[in-house]
Structure 1
């Protein structure tokens, strides 16, 4: 079953067989994953229809997935089609340029509140921001909104921003994307020591940082995951169309390094941490 791609004249079959390969690969879905970092942006939706996205997740053994999007309606659409699988986050960007300047737009918090009133979102983000903008009034208000509404904030930034978020709202839950701006076990240990309850960290698109050339976990990273088993989650991060087209490979890489951890730790990272952070407590009784 080739992936369904869209052209200017409507849907077309691109001749790629990656989705069929997912269904056929033995053992590929042996470990259910909760993917905590996916995008379904405008250019991706133009090329891949929503049903194919959901089929890809099913074929890859993704039992739940955080999806954020530009524009925000795309994530809501997937959640409406698969409410038991998709956990929508409110992406606050409507255009690519917003990624660079959202923190300087005083009108954004009001629009965010309107979007949140219109849709059932579990979080806000991904928000790209770094230390030089830590005093942004817009950032401050978005953090306050997340805390007021008990939403998770997905932050793509440095440690200065993480510290600032917790200065504003000490009890807000933060999902720090990509092992932070500078993936380093020493930095992450310090951050988790300062913020031991409400900071969670995703590993998306950082596998090469903690694996050697043979795909083995580096000792210092393995020790970090074992020492802090309740604070890490996994994600593919479909930041481009190619990431969706090669989704199975990225998911299998995650499974391969999870298999090198103690079973109890691997389960925490694979799904349990994200389930506890992001799902309604009433759903947690369902395996």
Structure 2
């Protein structure tokens, strides 16, 4: 797809969202705090989104969705810095070890990634390292091991898009790490609960985990997970392509609907308090 075609498609999506009853800009009451605030712990603002969506408009969309915080990373890091400068009260920055999207598949064996991460850490403040993709024995490779060491030196949360094996290896490398498990590893709730029992410093984001809810009803196995670990889950949209930005408002509304079926304290915990505590250190 050409850049001009992608740009036209993206703006058409945004226009449709703005006109929809569930559209991003169709809920002025959100900005006034009428709905429960949310903290989105899985947002990307990568180079292609930056080209299509100015930072001020991106921030306006996040605020219109009623977000009180957003954990943001980007490929490359410029997008994160633009959003953090535009809305320091809203954006919690993390450093993604990708210069371009192509690094997703190759970063674990690319020594220049270490140089890139060290340079960015020397220039800016971050709360997390990630979201990075890491599976199984890849965690034993020199580049991921060095990045875990850097995260330890800088006190960063590890935001890992990983299987169970890699998460276990991350904790073996750094037992005191705080790990945010992207998409809860796409594991079944029984496996997620077992991991949470084993690792008190593991949290799970629910990005793309729509299978935990049937409409507004939560699957019983997930409800049991939320009951046992109500302080260890956070929500996330995952804007991994520019087009995903147009669903941020809709995702927030759908999140509020299924959260409303939980006890109020649970809903607030998963909706925003857990992320606030983990990412901002605010209890």
TM over 0.5: yes
Q: Of 182, 185, 202, which aligns to 2:189?
A: 185
Give secondary structure in 1 for the equivalent of 2:35.
coil
Counterpart for residue 123 of structure 1: 128
Offset at residue 110 of structure 1 (A): 2.9
Q: Distance in 2 between matches of 1:12 and 1:191?
A: 42
Counterpart for residue 143 of structure 1: 148
Correspondence 1:48-67 to 2 at 5 A: 48-67=53-72
Q: Distance in 2 between matches of 1:215 and 1:175?
A: 25
Offset at residue 22 of structure 1 (A): 2.8
Change (3 A) 1:14 1:246: closer
Q: Is the 8 A contact 1:29 1:60 kept in 2?
A: no
Q: Is the 8 A contact 2:46 2:74 kept in 1?
A: yes
With a CA cutoff of 8 Å and minimum separation of 6, indicate the structure with the bigger relative contact order: 2
Counterpart for residue 168 of structure 1: 173
Q: Is the 8 A contact 1:29 1:59 kept in 2?
A: no
Counterpart for residue 31 of structure 1: 36
Offset at residue 125 of structure 1 (A): 0.6
Q: Of 197, 201, 204, which aligns to 1:201?
A: 204
Q: Is the 8 A contact 1:185 1:221 kept in 2?
A: yes
Change (3 A) 1:244 1:73: same
Offset at residue 106 of structure 1 (A): 2.2
Correspondence 1:220-231 to 2 at 5 A: 220-231=221-232
Give secondary structure in 2 for the equivalent of 1:20.
coil
Aligned length: 271
Q: Is the 8 A contact 1:99 1:128 kept in 2?
A: yes
Give secondary structure in 2 for the equivalent of 1:260.
coil
Offset at residue 237 of structure 1 (A): 1.1
Q: Distance in 1 between matches of 2:255 and 2:273?
A: 15
Offset at residue 246 of structure 1 (A): 2.1
Counterpart for residue 3 of structure 2: none
The TM-score normalised by the length of structure 2 is: 0.89
Q: Is the 8 A contact 2:97 2:117 kept in 1?
A: yes
1:100 aligns with 2:105: yes
Give secondary structure in 1 for the equivalent of 2:98.
coil
Q: Of 70, 74, 79, which aligns to 1:69?
A: 74
Give secondary structure in 2 for the equivalent of 1:31.
coil
Change (3 A) 1:7 1:162: closer
Give secondary structure in 2 for the equivalent of 1:246.
helix
Offset at residue 87 of structure 1 (A): 0.4
Counterpart for residue 85 of structure 1: 90
Q: Is the 8 A contact 1:226 1:261 kept in 2?
A: no
Counterpart for residue 41 of structure 1: 46
Q: Distance in 2 between matches of 1:164 and 1:263?
A: 36
Tell me, which stretches of 5 or more residues in structure 1 are unaligned? Answer: 1-5
Tell me, which stretches of 5 or more residues in structure 2 are unaligned? Answer: 1-5
Offset at residue 194 of structure 1 (A): 1.2
Q: Could you say what the CA RMSD is over the residues aligned between the two structures, in angstroms?
A: 2.3
Greater displacement, 136-145 / 155-164: 136-145
Counterpart for residue 260 of structure 2: 259
